[in-house]
Amino acid sequence: MTELKQVIIVRRKKKGGHGHHGGAWKVAYADFVTAMMAFFLVMWLVGAGTKQQRAAISEYFKNPSMTQGQSTMAPSGKMGPGGASTSMIKLGGAMDLPKGPGDQQQFAKPATSAEAEKLAKEQEKKRLEQLMKDLQEAIAQSQAMAPYKDQLLIDITSEGLRIQIVDKQNRPMFDTGSGALKPYTVQILHELAGFINQVPNQISISGHTDSAPYIRADSQYGNWELSADRANAARRTLTDGGMQPNKVARVVGLAASVPFDKNDPSAPTNRRISIVVMTNEAAKAALNEATAMAGGAN
């Protein structure tokens, strides 16, 4: 008989060993790298940004209730829960940083009031100089004004652009002892009205006489009254010629107190109308003076 052999199969269980830890360490390392990158990004922004940008970054981290996903500052400036701002700072990265001289302007320090005032004065001076140049060229080219160009004296003083219309020996501006303008004086003032309107500055008008005493039958009327009447006549004529009425800041009669020819107080050139296109500073001084006088009168 065939002998059967019994086969014994032994199954041995393998004891559990330590397998791989998986990717947990990679996640932790990635979080660390991300945190470091964010840290260096903030440091870079703080160093490269302007004072206003740094303040915005500080506000961002102070207000955790800010809504994510927005990229521009909310114009309304609304407040969120707990008093936190709902506005988001704009972080455009390198695109918001200046790249050249032209871009530096948006990050330039704001001009101080003194610098702004100096710039305004320089611009005003250029406007008045240009007005004087235009006026001189117009007088030189105008056939109508040619006969009277020697009676028009133009210069720039501390108060502004001064235009003086003076009497000549045989060509007075007004009727004798009167505030009535000669026809050619009216023509001159009408021409000047258009030029005065070219700049926003206000004007001062003053009337002057020579030193010869003028007494009418009315003893209360003299050179002071006559010079004031002539200054007002010039003002009315300028307005009729198209000048804006609100450009007049001051109208005064100075009689013979400020002679043009100090060596000869009776010279015809002392009888004149002076129109000053005032600087803003001079106009403010005139307004303050008028206010002070009004206050004193009260």
Q: Which residues are 160's β-sheet partners?
A: 278
How high is the pLDDT of residue 297?
63
215-248: buried (b, 16+ CB within 10 Å) or exposed (e) per residue? eeeeeeeebbbbbbbbbbbbbebbeebebeeebb
Q: Is it true that domain 113-297 has CATH number 2.60.120.260? A: no
Arithmetic mean of pLDDT over the chain? 79
Confidence of residue 5 (pLDDT cuts 50, 70, 90): low
The residues, any chain, with a CB within 8 Å of residue 58's CB and separated by 6 or more, are none
Q: Rounded to two decimals, what is the model's pTM?
A: 0.60
pLDDT at 118 > cutoff 50: yes
End-to-end Cα distance, the chain: 153
Using a pLDDT cut of 90, give the percent of the chain over it.
Answer: 34
Query: Could you read off the pLDDT of 185-244 as tens digits, one per residue?
Result: 999 999 999 989 988 899 999 999 998 887 766 678 889 999 999 999 999 999 999 999
Nearest in space to 134 (alpha carbons), one of 122, 146, 124, 142: 142
The residues, any chain, with a CB within 8 Å of residue 252's CB and separated by 6 or more, are 204, 205, 206, 207, 228, 231
Using a pLDDT cut of 70, give the percent of the chain over it.
Answer: 72
pLDDT at 280 > cutoff 80: yes
pLDDT at 80 > cutoff 80: no
pLDDT at 87 > cutoff 70: no
Angstrom distance (rounded) from CA 204 to CA 252: 8
How high is the pLDDT of residue 83?
46
Q: Where are the alpha helices (DSSP H) in 142-219?
A: 183-196
Confidence of residue 169 (pLDDT cuts 50, 70, 90): confident
Confidence of residue 57 (pLDDT cuts 50, 70, 90): low
Domain boundaries, the chain: 24-107, 113-297
| Mean pLDDT of the 120-145 span | 88
Confidence of residue 272 (pLDDT cuts 50, 70, 90): very high
Angstrom distance (rounded) from CA 190 to CA 78: 57
